[in-house]
Amino acid sequence: MKACEQPIGIFDSGVGGLTVARAIQTQLPQESVIYFGDRARCPYGDQAPEDVLRYAVEISEFLLDQPVKCLVIACNTATAVALEALQAKFSVPILGVIEPGAAAAVATTKNRRIGVIGTSVTIQSHAYRKAILALDSRMHVVEHACPEFVPLVERGQLDGPVVEQVVRDALSVFAESGVDTLVLGCTHYPLLQPVIRRVLGPLVQVISSAEATARVLREELVVSDLLNHENGPVTHRYFTTGDGSKMRLALANWFKTPVASDAVVPVGLPLPSHAVVRHAAVQ
């Protein structure tokens, strides 16, 4: 198989990164995707950064062994902690979701006041603040951790009075902040986007990095001569360290995507060890 015909590897701590996978599948319909959701160790946002880095390396090795032609870290926490380390370790193109999301926020805001919500690790890293200010130092960034959101999504609780109250309490910090743009700094959060929009009202623009990441990925594949121009079959596979039935349920209920039973593959921990050095030639 030519390198350009190999699938795109995507990983997240759970099912939230499926929002990124879905955007990539929509914008790049000729590309196959292999998705890895680490549900057994989710959420990453409450764990030590060194543990998240170790998970990211293990999963990257697993995906490269499939093989895949590039990697997308569809997790803000793992992007903040591991992107630079993975780019230094592996030779395939590797993208995160923070820089595309930051660029979209800077392009959207009218008053240069941007809010960012994410997991505790992402917020503590100030990765979005740094990325936004690198693009425009005049921006004012208000960051806030919302650790309650990921467990809601993983349980499939996406709306209703209880969810709305949790979201309303978490976002109350922005009531007097003056932000006109809010970045969803976790790929789980877009699944709560209808509630978030309802709570914030029409004057605040809500930015999900999924669409922006898919656009940046397409540009990267063109530059790297890895964009698939063939008309062969497109195959999507989904690995999970958790219950495979829950991954299928998420795909079916949230994205209306029918998935064959053998397309979702449970994987036990610890992940197998892989000799990733043989992937060095994949450019």
Give, for 123, the enclosing helix (H) or strand (E). helix 120-125
Rounded Cα–Cα distance for residues 197 and 219 (Å): 30
Q: Which of 42, 70, 146, 186 is catalytic?
A: 186
Rounded Cα–Cα distance for residues 5 and 70 (Å): 11
- Does 44 belong to an annotated binding site? yes
Contact residues for 230 (Cβ-Cβ < 8 A; gap 6+): 2, 4, 5, 30
- Does 45 belong to an annotated binding site? yes
- Does 188 belong to an annotated binding site? yes
What is the three-class DSSP state of 238? Answer: strand
Q: Which of 42, 70, 75, 146 is catalytic?
A: 75
Amino acid at 246: K
**Active site annotation includes 70:** no
- Does 231 belong to an annotated binding site? no
**Active site annotation includes 186:** yes
Interior/surface letters 142-158, b for 16+ CB within 10 angstroms, e for the rest? bbbbbbebbebbbeeee
Rounded to 10 degrees, the C-alpha dihedral 89/72/224/7 comes to 110
- Does 228 belong to an annotated binding site? no
Place of tokens 């949230």: 254
Q: How, if at all, do strands 236-240 and 181-185 pair?
A: unpaired
As annotated, the active-site residues are: 75, 186
- Annotated binding-site residues read 12-13, 44-45, 76-77, 187-188
Extract the annotated binding site for substrate. Answer: 12-13, 44-45, 76-77, 187-188
